[in-house]
């Protein structure tokens, strides 16, 4: 019975961390795992972290360069 509650709590905190990480422009999959394993500790750390400015600038840079295709030489 303890395993069931542990799994449900892990899923809940994993989903919360994943959603909140997406809002802060951080890696959702990794934060889901951290939330599943460390529960409220991971959620608290994520709350204290600032928004990820680097990912925002990388997204802008990637969207600007989507037009160009790499040239392959034979």
pLDDT digits (tens, 9 = 90+) for 36-74: 999 999 999 999 999 887 765 555 655 555 555 556 665
Per the CB < 8 A criterion, the answer to whether 42 and 13 are in contact is: yes
Token pair recorded at residue 42: 């991971």
SS3 of residue 70 by DSSP? coil
Would 64 be classed as within a structural domain? Answer: no
Domain that holds residue 9: 2-51
pTM of the model: 0.67
Would 69 be classed as within a structural domain? Answer: no
* Contacts with 47 (C-beta within 8 Å, 6 or more apart), sequence order: 20
- What are the Cα distances from residue 40, in Å, to 18, 47, 61? 13, 10, 34
Q: How many structural domains comprise the chain?
A: 1
Would 26 be classed as within a structural domain? Answer: yes
């Amino acid at each position: 019975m303890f395993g069931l509650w542990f799994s449900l709590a892990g899923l809940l905190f994993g989903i919360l961390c994943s959603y909140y990480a997406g809002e802060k422009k951080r890696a959702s999959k990794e934060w889901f795992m951290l939330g599943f394993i460390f529960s409220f500790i991971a959620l608290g750390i994520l709350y204290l972290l600032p928004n990820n400015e680097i990912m925002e600038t990388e997204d802008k840079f990637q969207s600007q360069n989507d037009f160009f295709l790499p040239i392959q030489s034979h």
